[in-house]
Amino acid sequence: MRYRVLGGTGIEVSHHCLGAMMFGSVGNTDHDEGVRIIHRALDAGINFVDTADMYSAGESEEIVGKALAGRRDDVVLATKVHFPLGEGRNRSGNSRRHIVRAVEDSLRRLGTDWIDLYQVHRPDYTTDVEETLSVLTDLVRAGKIRAFGCSTFPAAEIVEAHHVAMNRGFLRFRTEQPPYSLLARGIERSVLPTCQRLGMGVLVWSPLASGFLSGRHRRGTNAEAFRATLTPDRFDETLPRNAAKFDAVEQFAKLADEMGVSLPALAIAFVTTHPAVTSAITGPRTMEQLESLLEGASLVLTDDVLDRIDEIVAPGEDTYDVHGVWKPASLLDVHRRRRPFDQR
């Protein structure tokens, strides 16, 4: 296992980060097995664990908390805030009101006194970023969190947050957590260069493209895996928009076979090759999946292999919509895209 410094924090983290999204009601409901998977990852040298309060409505954090009992000092623990955990107003977003309550709930579920990396899960267009940075700075000074970051923020909003922090005397986002894979390279255009210029750490999510690079979803197969049941449209090869994904997967699978490695190993090694990437988040649901991912932890890609990858999916290109069901307000709100009728 290799280790890298997380942004400018001085915190060393493994280049593989264990994602806990699949622990709980939306994935593996066996808490004891979840604990065993986390312990196996820690024993293999992974010291970085990432979860979120919305994963299985807090259940993922509870499982992580159980697993880290007695081992907390050896782990860099990350979680996230933004999405609603229940019905009612003011129970989501990036406001001071919500974050102050959410961090206390996360600390309780995780069974810890502090969170190493607290991340804003998505932008909130109803809350000034100044408000968000202010409360996160206060939480660092109160000892509740050690550092904070953002997740799936466009490059322009990362820059805006950086300048607001500098101008207002707040601490700044130390990390960004974007989607990145062999099939989704869009962040190479601006997000990754922006993070490099600002000295931010980068934790990439979905390096297996929501299971598309797991090796189980190939052209002509019946996609019945867990991920396919959650988002079936992503795996429906009859849909024209999925054709490019299936074509690319076949070529990547052939390349992996020629190298004598698994497709997941190739996928994870690729994202950790980019100089801006600190760690790749892998979210196994079973022990078998974890063992498969660990097998490729030491894989290093040559320039010839990286050139082949560039020929299959060009740098900076996405073969699918990486954000899934989440869309920025600039796309969802028609009033942000259309002038009033009397001004056209």
As given in the structure block, the two tokens for residue 79 are 């979680």
Element of type H or E holding 5: strand 3-5
**Cβ contact 1:14 at 8 Å:** yes
Closest Cα to residue 244, out of 177, 305, 185? 185
Each residue of 100-123: b (16+ CB within 10 Å) or e?
A: eebbeebbebbebebbbbbbbbbb
**Cβ contact 64:38 at 8 Å:** yes
Instruction: Give the catalytic positions in this structure.
Output: 55
What is the identity of the amino acid at 181? Answer: S
**Cβ contact 312:321 at 8 Å:** no
What is the rounded radius of gyration, in angstroms, for the C-alpha atoms of the chain? 20
CA dihedral over 182, 310, 151, 196, signed as positive or negative: positive
What is the identity of the amino acid at 239? Answer: L
Maximum Cα interatomic distance, the chain, rounded to a whole number of Å: 65
Element of type H or E holding 37: helix 31-43
What is the identity of the amino acid at 84? Answer: P
Residues 103, 148: Cα–Cα separation, whole Å = 12
Specify the residue for token string 């950086």: 162
